Amino acid sequence: MPVLLPYPFPGPFDYAVPPTLTLAPGDIVLVPLNRRQEVGVVWDAPSGPAVADAKLKPVSARLDAPPMPAPLRRLVEWIASYTLSPPGAVLAMALRVNALTPPPMAAGWRRVADAPDVRVADAPDIRVADAPDIRVADAPDVRVPHAPAIRLTPQRTRVLATLGDRIIPSADLARLADVGTSVIRGMADKGLIEPAPVPSVPPFGRPDPAFRTPHFSSAQAEIAAALRAKVAAHTFTVTLLDGVTGSGKTEIYLEAVAACLQSGRQTLILLPEIALSAQFLARFERRFGVAPALWHSDLGSRTRRATWRAVAEGAAQVVVGARSALFLPFPDLGLVIVDEEHETAFKQEDGVVYHARDMAVVRARFSDAPAILVSATPSLETLSNVEAGRYAHLRLQTRHAGASMPAIAAIDMRDAPPPRGKFLSPVLVAAIRASFARGEQAMLFLNRRGYAPLTLCRACGHRLACPNCTAWLVEHRARRELSCHHCGHTAPAPTICPVCAAEGTLAPIGPGVERITEEAAELFPDIRRLVMASDTMPGPHAAAEAARAIEAREVDLLIGTQIVAKGWHFPHLTLVGVVDADLGLAGGDLRAAERTVQLLHQVAGRAGRAEAPGEVKLQTFSPEHPVMQALVSGDLAAFYEAEKAARRPGHWPPYGRLAALIVSAEQAEAADRCARALGLAAPAAPGVEVLGPTPAPLAILRGRHRRRLLLKTRRDIAVQPILLAWLARVEVPRGARVDVDVDPVSFL
Ligand code: ADP
Ligand code: ZN
């Protein structure tokens, strides 16, 4: 019987089935491999020439876990062949081994009632490792009744502080408190903590489709009915739901969810950024009475197991998740929704390189379910599928309840420059001031974390670069660090130039959100500011709290990176200032203009979502650029037409197909040799073109030298067979590696 293991082997392995077991495809089993027991999935495909049963090792056991549904097995195979990845590598994403066993009634620990009261700044959710210093140096010996004097070491203090009033699973306590398990055992022996059962994960409620039904406008109602019909049809279809920000798209696709709930099937909703989920979850709950199940990579292990099980058993009827939710074992998926379908965050760039939007469509196909792609600024890929008649198109033309679209204006930075060393034009500053005067909120958007993207020595001109990458180090002033946003390298910010040793000559060049925040603090000392960036706001909880504070008008000025751009609905926010509208155009890759329009349109959409009209100011050095023109005029249709016209003749996506080969090696020489060999063996055929090899823009990443080749074919030519044949002609030298990226989004 073929069993697929979650490792990059070329295919399933054959095992004998002992007479005591009956196995069917999808069953999750334990099998011996190299003297270890591994978890695998019984696969359907015949795995090559049959081996005499006597030679096969037997399957050890079948696990007590719901089998992997056939549509998910098909998805694993499909992604493997589309991305040229070993099927086991894809299976690994679908087989959360730690999720297979049901969450046990876990044992946990709590403080004994009279344990010394140690708290971490009254914030039990903060991981102690990151929390302000707890002074324990002079911690006195504490007398606990029934016990001799117990010394409160720093580790023990951390454990007590981490516990607070909670019960924490034994499996997690040591990690959360950052101590060894022996510390925990020692504390139990000394009577500082005691075992206690962990309360079980809250059950997954049943969303009620009739909990609070909205009153739709006639245009909205028509689209909602069309989507309900798609769900009822119980067949695979793809629909683009397209409409300006604030037109009610979310409200409407929740009707499709309602229809799916009524049909008793499950729904998967993919969001590009799980930080977005906070407001979404609240909205879902208002509509259906309970929150949906949530799936993302930061879930705690208990919740992860419970959720995985609840999905497999059908108890979780609606799952909202990041791209990895695609691999959950839905037994009866009836609807797949991809919100903000144009987002590049749906592309996974590490490991198996896949586009979650496209794979969501495939998943829907294998489940005979409709897929709904939602966006105010659809990707050209999706629009071309609409044009070709493959996808249906439903459109909403106006904002709900008469809210008007924001007025977008460009600020020509050459005419109205900021003061020296500053980044906000007086025109923008005046507009912000005016909105505060009206008692409204404003937002500054800059898609760059940290204080400054580059540090330069004014004496010798040296620029501080990452030792591992072709990239400048970004200053994070609050943390007094320089950090590489590509490899994560960090170092304390130096005070003297590492090259010329001059003192006090290192100068920050250009702004990040931290620097804009500093400038705003000088300009508007009395207003309440909030910074939202992925590094200052990790996880959905922090984002939820931020959203609450903004809605409650506890904040006047919001400053953020792209995390503020998406999906939020802030009724009192009326002014959006884009600090550097040209930023995304600099890279100049295939989709730079498209992406800039999408991102800035999205940011602009945060303004004026309720009664008060919104206003958007774009700081730019090239107001004549077609992207700025499109945003200012609001004529996105014309922009899209121009963009299509530019891509069509050269067969650029979506009118052609791309696949990138990324060669990397620790030695530049090996990378070059491999890249040259690939170049010499490049396929040649009508409609097939190879560009490169060239050094990658990120010529060194994590210490590896990188070269790129790009395969471009006509749309009617599949890239996979060409790639397979090409790679088979080339021997990759030792130490070099070739990564394949089908449908590349990043060209770095
Ligand atoms: P989009 O997803 O297109 O940006 P939303 O669905 O977020 O739009 O709608 C924008 C706002 O208008 C939300 O606060 C939403 O609750 C509200 N809204 C939209 N349609 C209706 C409706 N028919 N009845 C009540 N509120 C609505
Ligand atoms: Zn780096």
**pTM for this prediction:** 0.85
pLDDT, position 201: 58
Tell me the angle at which helices 380-387 and 636-647 cross, rounded to the nearest 10 degrees: 80
> Which band of pLDDT confidence, cut at 50, 70 and 90, is reported for residue 200?
low
Ligand 1 lined by 245 (C-beta under 6 Å): yes
Which is the closest atom of ligand 1 to the Cα of 376?
3
Asked whether the CA dihedral 135, 136, 137, 141 is positive or negative, the reply is positive
148 pLDDT above the threshold of 60: no
704 pLDDT above the threshold of 90: yes
Backbone φ and ψ for 405, nearest 5 degrees, come out as: -70, 150
> Which band of pLDDT confidence, cut at 50, 70 and 90, is reported for residue 130?
very low
732 pLDDT above the threshold of 90: yes
What is the Å distance from ligand 2's center to 598 Cα? Answer: 28
103 pLDDT above the threshold of 50: yes
| Least reliable range by pLDDT among 17-26, 122-131, 531-540 | 122-131
Beta strands across the sheet bearing 61-62: 13-14, 2-4, 36-42, 28-33, 61-62
Q: Which of 251, 598, 611 to mutate to test the pocket of ligand 1 (most atoms within 8 A of CB)?
A: 251
Ligand 1 lined by 279 (C-beta under 6 Å): no
| Least reliable range by pLDDT among 83-92, 221-230, 545-554, 704-713 | 545-554
Which is the closest atom of ligand 1 to the Cα of 245?
4
Whose alpha carbon is nearest atom 10 of ligand 1?
A: 246
Residue in this structure with the two tokens 């891509």, named with its chain if needed: 647
What is the Å distance from ligand 1's center to 214 Cα? Answer: 10
What is the Å distance from ligand 2's center to 479 Cα? Answer: 18
Whose alpha carbon is nearest atom 23 of ligand 1?
A: 216
What is the Å distance from ligand 2's center to 666 Cα? Answer: 14
What is the Å distance from ligand 2's center to 528 Cα? Answer: 35
What CA–CA distance (Å, rounded) separates 482 from 503?
17
Q: How far is CA 585 from CA 510, 594, 597, 628, in A?
A: 16, 9, 10, 11
> Which band of pLDDT confidence, cut at 50, 70 and 90, is reported for residue 134?
very low
Contact partners, residue 488, CB within 8 Å, separation at least 6: none
| Least reliable range by pLDDT among 141-150, 588-597, 724-733 | 141-150
203-219 residue pLDDT tens: 688 999 999 999 999 99
725 pLDDT above the threshold of 80: yes
Contact partners, residue 684, CB within 8 Å, separation at least 6: none
Mean pLDDT, the chain, as a whole number? Answer: 89
532 pLDDT above the threshold of 50: yes
Alpha helix ranges (H) inside 625-731: 626-633, 636-647, 668-680, 719-728
| Average pLDDT rounded to a whole number, residues 510-523 | 96
Ligand 1 lined by 249 (C-beta under 6 Å): yes
What CA–CA distance (Å, rounded) separates 82 from 98?
27
> Which band of pLDDT confidence, cut at 50, 70 and 90, is reported for residue 52?
low
What is the Å distance from ligand 1's center to 121 Cα? Answer: 39
pLDDT, position 139: 36
Which is the closest atom of ligand 1 to the Cα of 243?
3
**Closest C-alpha to 301, from 201, 165, 181:** 201
| Least reliable range by pLDDT among 84-93, 104-113, 229-238, 550-559 | 104-113
Contact partners, residue 665, CB within 8 Å, separation at least 6: 671, 674, 704, 705, 733, 735, 736, 737
Residue 521 or residue 406, greater confidence: 521
Tell me the angle at which helices 154-163 and 170-177 cross, rounded to the nearest 10 degrees: 120
Ligand 1 lined by 83 (C-beta under 6 Å): no
Strand (E) or helix (H) holding 358:
helix 356-366
pLDDT, position 141: 40
Strands (E), 361-505: 370-375, 392-396, 407-412, 441-445, 454-457, 474-476, 481-483, 490-492
pLDDT, position 98: 58
Q: Which of 215, 372, 400, 602 to mutate to test the pocket of ligand 1 (most atoms within 8 A of CB)?
A: 400
**Closest C-alpha to 369, from 249, 243, 292, 256:** 256
pLDDT, position 136: 33
> Which band of pLDDT confidence, cut at 50, 70 and 90, is reported for residue 47?
low
**Is 357 exposed, middle or buried, given 0-12, 13-18 or 19+ CB atoms closer than 10 A?**
buried
pLDDT, position 276: 64
pLDDT, position 384: 94
Percentage of the chain modeled with pLDDT above 90:
69
Ligand 1 lined by 398 (C-beta under 6 Å): no
| Average pLDDT rounded to a whole number, residues 126-137 | 32
> Which band of pLDDT confidence, cut at 50, 70 and 90, is reported for residue 539?
low
| Least reliable range by pLDDT among 375-379, 394-398, 661-665 | 394-398
425-471 residue pLDDT tens: 999 999 999 999 999 999 999 999 999 999 999 999 999 999 999 99
Q: Which amino acid is at 682?
A: A
What is the Å distance from ligand 1's center to 365 Cα? Answer: 29
Whose alpha carbon is nearest atom 16 of ligand 1?
A: 251
Which is the closest atom of ligand 1 to the Cα of 214?
24
706-720 residue pLDDT tens: 999 999 999 999 999
Ligand 1 lined by 571 (C-beta under 6 Å): no
Ligand 1 lined by 483 (C-beta under 6 Å): no
pLDDT, position 165: 75
> Which band of pLDDT confidence, cut at 50, 70 and 90, is reported for residue 538?
low
What is the Å distance from ligand 1's center to 247 Cα? Answer: 6
491 pLDDT above the threshold of 80: yes
Q: How far is CA 597 from CA 573, 603, 639, in A?
A: 21, 10, 9
The answer to whether 719 and 659 are in contact (CB under 8 A) is: yes
330 pLDDT above the threshold of 50: yes
Contact partners, residue 367, CB within 8 Å, separation at least 6: 71, 236, 330, 333, 334, 336
Whose alpha carbon is nearest atom 17 of ligand 1?
A: 248
Residue 266 or residue 608, greater confidence: 266
Ligand 1 lined by 606 (C-beta under 6 Å): no
**Closest C-alpha to 324, from 292, 382, 363:** 363
| Average pLDDT rounded to a whole number, residues 175-182 | 84
What is the Å distance from ligand 1's center to 545 Cα? Answer: 21
Which ligand is located closest to the Cα atom of residue 284?
Answer: 1
565-587 residue pLDDT tens: 876 788 899 999 999 999 999 87
Query: Which residue(s) pair with 196 in the sheet?
Result: 108
| Average pLDDT rounded to a whole number, residues 633-652 | 93
**Closest C-alpha to 404, from 279, 253, 280, 574:** 574
Which is the closest atom of ligand 1 to the Cα of 567?
4
What is the Å distance from ligand 2's center to 490 Cα? Answer: 9
28-43 residue pLDDT tens: 999 999 889 999 999 9
Which ligand is located closest to the Cα atom of residue 489?
Answer: 2
What is the Å distance from ligand 2's center to 562 Cα? Answer: 21
pLDDT, position 458: 95
Tell me the angle at which helices 277-288 and 249-262 cross, rounded to the nearest 10 degrees: 50
Ligand 1 lined by 215 (C-beta under 6 Å): yes
> Which band of pLDDT confidence, cut at 50, 70 and 90, is reported for residue 140?
very low
What CA–CA distance (Å, rounded) separates 140 from 145?
15
pLDDT, position 180: 87
Residue 153 or residue 697, greater confidence: 697
What is the Å distance from ligand 2's center to 86 Cα? Answer: 28
pLDDT, position 302: 79
Strand (E) or helix (H) holding 4:
strand 2-4
> Which band of pLDDT confidence, cut at 50, 70 and 90, is reported for residue 399?
confident
pLDDT, position 111: 84
Whose alpha carbon is nearest atom 19 of ligand 1?
A: 248
Ligand 1 lined by 250 (C-beta under 6 Å): yes
Ligand 1 lined by 246 (C-beta under 6 Å): yes
What CA–CA distance (Å, rounded) separates 495 from 504?
6
Ligand 1 lined by 111 (C-beta under 6 Å): no
What is the Å distance from ligand 2's center to 699 Cα? Answer: 11
> Which band of pLDDT confidence, cut at 50, 70 and 90, is reported for residue 100?
low
| Average pLDDT rounded to a whole number, residues 645-664 | 95
User: Under the phi-then-psi rule, with left for phi > 0, alpha for psi from -120 to 50, and beta for the rest, what region is 672?
Assistant: alpha
Whose alpha carbon is nearest atom 11 of ligand 1?
A: 246
